[in-house]
Amino acid sequence: MTAAARAAVVMAIGALLLLLSACGDDAPVPAPTPTPDASTDTAADGVAPSAGEFPTTLADQLQATLDASFEAVDTPGVAIGVRHPNGSWWSSGAGFANTADGEAATAEHGFRVGSITKTMTSATVLLLAQDGLVDLDSPLDDYVDGFSLGPAVTLRALLTHSSGVFNYTDDYAFIGYSTEPWTPTQIIDWALEHDWEFAPGEGSKYSNTNFYLLGMVIEAVAGKPYHEVVRERLLEPEGLSRTFLDEFEAESTPRATGYVVTSDVSGGIDMRWAWAAGGMVSTVADLCHWLQRVFREDVLAEARRDDMLARHVLPDGTTTVYGLGVQHLSRAGVRLVGHTGSTMGFKGEAFVHRESGACVAVVTNNFVSDQTELTRPVWQVLKDTLGLE
């Protein structure tokens, strides 16, 4: 991408960030494209072989839901994966991974997953705590030098978004800087030039800056780069062979191209600006396998897993929707845990129903798409079919 083209993309993204709710309404959307990876009885790399057979009728319902919902999602391409409570797997795709050459989007493609990365950063911190290397209720200053944020900015406060530290992506000027490979320290210094949102521990506001600081904790304690620690502690042991940190690791799966409406923005931003807060690329199969393992199985000891999932309570008694790097929400009235994700050119979400193990992961390659136009009806189908609550 030329300097002029990159500047044009950056200007377009900046304007679109300010006008998110109004963007993309008139963008042409390609028709759903049948994809060869649609599967009812096999799983992609990273997911254990099916424990049962995916019901044919349910697979047909899900494909029909994808076909009917695709246009409303408003994206060049989408991939979806659904894990049945019996352990079987279904996946499909629609539209284009790359509009320039007409490459079909499939569940085999890697998509930037944005803040779903936070579940991995959080789990890595919790593993360090499990090993006695960090204390969640100790200040960040005990582990990372140079910021002096005070005793109330604990690791737990960062994990629950109750630190009060300014979210650097709330200042859209970051778009102008993010074409350059700033270091985490530089990004934190810039964020700390802004006023605090509230006194540490006294409120709750989502802040990507919190997870940059946690990435720095991981590096300081482990003595290795963040991506190496996450790979050693999570990606390799869990068989997440198609998940990698953008800008830092080699690509391990074919990648979809990212767009803002119809503009290719894949090369417009240096993804070091996402890093521990949102820098992972993954597939829908890896995402559902990961959520199953971390929220329902034994990635963490039971007490640590319960700690991760417990919703944070503010001093005034308000219960937030956030645990330790995990979101609680509902789709079609079904209570779920997982995370949404949004980053340059991409948007999506991955959530699991803990009681049954049902999981839905949906990723798109348009920053201003609305993946809930697909996830809501899909969870409705699963609710009606499986009796989920």
Pick from 82, 76, 188: which is nearest to 141 by CA?
188
Would you call 231 helix, strand, or coil by DSSP?
helix
Q: What is the pLDDT of residue 284?
A: 98
Q: What is the pLDDT of residue 34?
A: 38
Q: What is the pLDDT of residue 51?
A: 63
DSSP-derived secondary structure for 162-204: -S----GGGSTTHHHHTTS---HHHHHHHHTTSPPSSSTTS--
Q: Which residue has the higher pLDDT, 14 or 241?
A: 241
What residue spans define the domains of the chain?
37-386
pLDDT per residue as tens digits for the range 129-154: 999 999 999 999 999 999 999 999 99
Quick check: 343 and 360 in contact, CB under 8 A?
A: no
**Residue 14 confidence (pLDDT) above 90:** no
How big is the CA angle at 358 (ends 289 and 305), to the nearest 5 degrees? 60
Residue at token pair 């946690």: 214
**Residue 172 confidence (pLDDT) above 60:** yes
**Residue 340 confidence (pLDDT) above 70:** yes
Quick one: 338 exposed, middle or buried, by C-beta within 10 A (0-12, 13-18, 19+)? Answer: buried
Taking residues 179-196, report their average pLDDT.
Answer: 93
Taking residues 9-33, report their average pLDDT.
Answer: 38
Q: What is the pLDDT of residue 269?
A: 80
Would you call 60 helix, strand, or coil by DSSP?
helix
Confidence band for 179, pLDDT divided at 50, 70 and 90: confident
Q: What is the pLDDT of residue 28?
A: 31
Taking residues 251-274, report their average pLDDT.
Answer: 88
Taking residues 93-103, report their average pLDDT.
Answer: 97
Pick from 347, 303, 307: which is nearest to 326 by CA?
307
**Residue 38 confidence (pLDDT) above 90:** no
* 265 token code pair: 């923005």
**Residue 155 confidence (pLDDT) above 50:** yes
Which of the residue ranges 30-34, 311-315, 362-366, 384-388 would you say has the lowest mean pLDDT?
Answer: 30-34
Taking residues 40-51, report their average pLDDT.
Answer: 43
Taking all residues of the chain, what is their mean pLDDT, rounded to a whole number?
89
Q: What is the pLDDT of residue 196?
A: 97
Taking residues 107-111, report their average pLDDT.
Answer: 98
**Residue 29 confidence (pLDDT) above 60:** no
What is the reported pTM? 0.89
Q: Which fold has domain 37-386?
A: Beta-lactamase (3.40.710)
Which phi and psi (to 5°) does residue 206 adopt? -60, 130
Confidence band for 219, pLDDT divided at 50, 70 and 90: very high
DSSP letter at 334?
Answer: E
* 141 token code pair: 């200053």
Q: Any bridge partners for residue 260, and if so which?
A: 263
* 196 token code pair: 């605090």
